[in-house]
Structure 1
Amino acid sequence: MTSASNKHLVLNAWKVFATRDPHLVRDVFAPDAEWLAPADNATARALDGTHHLVGRDRIVRFLTEEFGTVFVDDVRVDFGGVYADGDTVVVETRLRATLANGGRYDNEYCFIFELHAGRIRRVREYMDTQRGAKCFASAVTA
């Protein structure tokens, strides 16, 4: 696949993630896919989970079931740059949402997608972990 078609594949995958349809989400990942985020990030802590998701089914569960229990409303992903070199696509995003604790989440990310045979094989996620932790700590008080 070309760099341009790989960019399209990854941007389309984001639309699929937003559907939270497990069958559609499953189709964009290779069976041996991995998703690696910074250790001890706020989302993993909120889920009492891991920063390293291994296997397509585990990633699908995170995106279609667990994500929505943490980021509960007003979820918005804005895209910055999207860059591709062969089977590697880099995406800059900003995620904003209402958290389960009532607080507001607002953080910037960089994702590196590694593709194989038209599917996502590996995602490496980078974010400001301190900013994320502050967002989770700022629950709305009545």
Structure 2
Amino acid sequence: MNNPTAKDVVLNAWKTFSTRDAGQIASLFTPDAEWIAPARNATAVALDHTDHMIGPDQIARFIASEMHRLFSEIDISFRAVHADGDSVIVEERMRATLPEGRHYDNDYCFVFVVAGGRIKQVREYMDTRKGWQMIFGEAAA
């Protein structure tokens, strides 16, 4: 694709994420890329993982394999994609199966910043209380 827009880059990234190919996923990000999620969110805590990933290899490893230790049968549906210049906002719903067959269903908002045709930053937002309730149970929330 010649001169892809920021929106094209982000939509292609979501397709590539589903391949679980860490090399392909890493190639989507700039060398100094960051993925920033809410501090101590339930996914990070459950996986004993950082909520601020730095570098394409760490981000790709998480997407390709680490998150799948917690989530299986992942179904992502986009609600909206908004683009303005180098910024792209993706609103989505993620449904998945948790260990022991428990159900996960949460809404997310991702703000992508694209630079030079690759992703430089992702800021991730979700309903953190709802995530805690589904992953750890009502009492933990």
What TM-score do the two structures reach when normalised by structure 2? 0.91
| Superposition RMSD in Å | 1.1
Alpha-carbon contact 2:34-2:53 (below 8 Å) kept: yes
Matches within 5 A, 1:1-142: 5-72=5-72, 74-138=73-137
* Residue 102 of structure 1, CA deviation: 2.1
Contact 2:97-2:104 within 8 A present in 1 as well: yes
3-state secondary structure, aligned to 1:19 = coil
Does the Cα contact within 8 Å between 2:27 and 2:56 map onto a contact in 1?
A: no
CA distance in 2, matches of 1:78, 1:56: 24
C-alpha displacement of 1:50: 1.2
Gaps of 5+ in 1: none
Shift of 1:87: 0.4
Q: Deviations over 1:14-69 (max 9, x none)?
A: 01001100111011111110000001101001111111001111101111110111
Provide the aligned length of Structure 1 versus Structure 2. Answer: 134
Q: Please say if residues 22 and 57 of structure 2, whose CA atoms lie closer than 8 Å, have aligned partners that are also in contact.
A: no
Alpha-carbon distance in structure 1 between the residues aligned to 2:106 and 2:18 = 18
Unmatched 5+ stretches in structure 2: none
Give me the whole-angstrom Cα distance separating, in 2, the residues matched to 1:121 and 1:15: 18
Q: Secondary structure at the match of 1:12?
A: helix
What TM-score results when the alignment is normalised by the length of structure 1?
0.91
Alpha-carbon distance in 1 for matches of 2:8, 2:67: 23
Q: Which runs of 4+ in 1 moved over 3 A?
A: none
In 2, distance between residues paired with 1:121 and 1:100? 32
Give me the whole-angstrom Cα distance separating, in 2, the residues matched to 1:12 and 1:53: 20
